[in-house]
Structure 1
């Protein structure tokens, strides 16, 4: 972290669900700093707290105690509307399920965050076209999800996540529904967004070969950070033989 600008800080963050006999402490006083421009893999078994921590970072949930700072701002003190504005302005989300509107074109799916933000039709159209081109889907703007492969659908989801030019991309098992070849293609794409566009990437994954693309791996166990290690030899490109320029 030396010399890297802190972007995200969790200070003594805990999250409780329920109360009394049904109380569950999902994360337990975690401290974490993510620097601007990092590519971080979040790992751990089911129930370890990694998804809860990601939800807190993504402003989808609030800590029960502790502090969450984004660019030095105490997010835990913000109103619901302020947190929503932070999400729209600074955060992009990619999930294992592509979460695309089935009867809506790729172009219209990608435009959705800009529609919610109130951008004009022309601005939405131009930005969505650029985002789709950035993920290798130029020419596929008018295809619906049913006309796209799984890999293409995840690319549309990534385009939707980056169309607002976020500072942070939160990816929750982004390759979980893809085969090995498509998984590495998506990882190559995420790597390029991080390296070439400076987008900070936080990725939840169970797969060590996907985590190998990250510069840093944080492992959760029983609601706590068990390990936080730099990757001495991160993967810097998709495996030989994969044509990252081809349309999936």
Structure 2
């Protein structure tokens, strides 16, 4: 089966001339549909630049980026935005919730941008909140929620459009260890039960342990890719 996402000889250079900085130096990476991938590496290793490219928030300087066999590097800005809306969901370390709106209204935002009718937005947002265990908190604002609950709302917002891929940038970075494990268990459940491909940047080995695949970046390149057994998951054979 062809990979869902494929990068070949992807480079990214910022600036020009003597001040140019090559953040990526020829990245090759395949991601299978339904995988849970943790992306790790030191600051400046290229992991965040790669995630920005995978999320269609940036474009390669050179190389090939295939999504479902289509050349993303050839798309214009509007086409990339359409790909993001249809196929990708995003979760960030800082939650990025609107402070004066309810959990339900926060989750409805991507559907509002998509042009869904009010009733459809409500039903889909409530279903997403139910998936993350917050259906009973739909009318609470972020200030009335714990950090872990706020991240659950952010995850509900990311999955409300039923994306193929969920990109999570340090999703547990602002949480204590107990809440971090809860969020990782939720991401694992969504990956397993909804078959959402999860791509997660993390500095924490304990969080990376929840992934099936760990990609290690170093100096703008993929240093190694490791398959691993997740906690609580049966071993084949």
Same fold (TM over 0.5): yes
Give the corresponding residue for 1:22. 19
After superposition, the C-alpha distances for 1:74-99 in whole angstroms (9 at most, x for unaligned) are 00111111111100000000000100
Is there any run of 5+ residues in structure 1 with no aligned partner, and where? 238-248
TM (normalized to structure 1)? 0.93
Q: Tell me if 1:72 matches 2:65.
A: no
C-alpha separation in 2, matches of 1:196 and 1:105: 27
Cα offset for 1:236? Answer: 3.1
Give the corresponding residue for 1:157. 154
Is there any run of 5+ residues in structure 2 with no aligned partner, and where? none
Give the corresponding residue for 2:181. 184
The answer to whether the Cα contact below 8 Å between 1:96 and 1:177 also exists between their aligned partners in 2 is yes
SS of equivalent to 1:6: coil
Give the corresponding residue for 1:245. none
Counterpart pick for 1:235 among 224, 231, 235: 231
The answer to whether the Cα contact below 8 Å between 1:38 and 1:200 also exists between their aligned partners in 2 is yes
C-alpha separation in 2, matches of 1:122 and 1:108: 12
- Runs (4 or more) in structure 1 with deviation over 2 Å come to none
The answer to whether the Cα contact below 8 Å between 1:214 and 1:235 also exists between their aligned partners in 2 is no
Give the corresponding residue for 2:169. 172
Aligned CA RMSD, in angstroms, stands at 0.8
C-alpha separation in 1, matches of 2:31 and 2:99: 35
TM (normalized to structure 2)? 0.97
Q: Tell me if 1:224 matches 2:225.
A: no
SS of equivalent to 2:137: coil
C-alpha separation in 1, matches of 2:78 and 2:2: 27
Equivalent runs, 1:115-126 vs 2, <5 Å: 115-126=112-123
Give the corresponding residue for 1:198. 195
C-alpha separation in 1, matches of 2:203 and 2:22: 22
C-alpha separation in 2, matches of 1:126 and 1:134: 13
Aligned residue pairs, count: 233
Equivalent runs, 1:95-174 vs 2, <5 Å: 95-174=92-171
C-alpha separation in 1, matches of 2:205 and 2:172: 12
The answer to whether the Cα contact below 8 Å between 1:191 and 1:236 also exists between their aligned partners in 2 is no
The answer to whether the Cα contact below 8 Å between 1:213 and 1:236 also exists between their aligned partners in 2 is no
Counterpart pick for 1:213 among 191, 201, 210: 210
